[in-house]
Amino acid sequence: MPAAVAQSPDTLSFGAGRPVPPCDVEMGQAMFDAVCWACHSADLRGGKGPPLTGPAFYKTWQGRRVEALSDLIRNTMPKDNPGLSERAARDVTAYIVAHANKPGNPAGGQAGK
Ligand code: HEC
């Protein structure tokens, strides 16, 4: 993924082909599909909780540090029973970014700066 080289993996950047934090996306997806989907839906488009994909979400988080999002998740999610390990929070963060940045994600696209 040559486009990834110029951008820091420490910074959140949403859009097809952009870098994904170097964590275990498959573990993150397994966690998401076991726990988070109940409120955020399996396609991340939201339900009881807000969407974790799409322009409004990208706009909120674009350019912020990966830790800011993984810390929020670790400290406050799952909303009914928070307390993920740091590792699990990072993996699920990587999954959220990978979902946004995979080619052809219909809710993907550029979020602006
Ligand atoms: C019981 C329902 C529920 C579950 C389960 C849940 N969430 Fe949430 N989530 C919410 C609600 C409601 C909000 C809105 C903010 C708030 O009320 O704290 C939210 C907000 C968020 C946000 C902030 C979104 C933004 O726009 O900035 C993120 C990120 C997030 N959740 C990730 C997760 C992840 C990852 C998991 C699984 C580990 C998870 N949530 C599980 C209900 C839930």
Q: What is the pLDDT of residue 7?
A: 62
pLDDT band at 38 (very low <50, low <70, confident <90, very high): very high
In a domain, 34, yes or no: yes
Q: What is the pLDDT of residue 108?
A: 52
- To the question of pTM greater than 0.85 for the whole model, the response is yes
pLDDT band at 5 (very low <50, low <70, confident <90, very high): very low
Coil/strand/helix, residue 36: helix
Please give the structure tokens belonging to residue 103: 């080619």
Instruction: Determine the Cα–Cα distance for residues 58 and 14; give it in Å rounded to an integer.
Output: 6
In a domain, 26, yes or no: yes
By alpha-carbon position, which residue is closest to atom 28 of ligand 1? 73
75: CATH = 1.10.760.10
Residue 16: which residues within 8 A CB-CB, separation 6 or more? 101, 102, 103, 104, 105, 108, 109
Q: What is the pLDDT of residue 12?
A: 95
Enumerate the β-bridge partners of residue 19.
Answer: none
In a domain, 12, yes or no: no
By alpha-carbon position, which residue is closest to atom 15 of ligand 1? 49
Ligand 1 interacting residues, C-beta cut-off 6 A: 31, 35-36, 38-40, 48-50, 52, 57, 60, 69, 72-73, 76-80, 84, 92
Work out how many domains the chain is built from and give that number: 1
DSSP state of 6: T
In a domain, 8, yes or no: no
In a domain, 28, yes or no: yes
**Percentage of the residues of the chain whose pLDDT score is greater than 70:** 87
In a domain, 64, yes or no: yes
Tell which atom from ligand 1 comes closest to the C-alpha of 36.
37
- Structural domain that includes position 59: 21-101
In a domain, 68, yes or no: yes
In a domain, 113, yes or no: no
Distance, CA 112 to ligand 1 centroid (Å)? Answer: 23
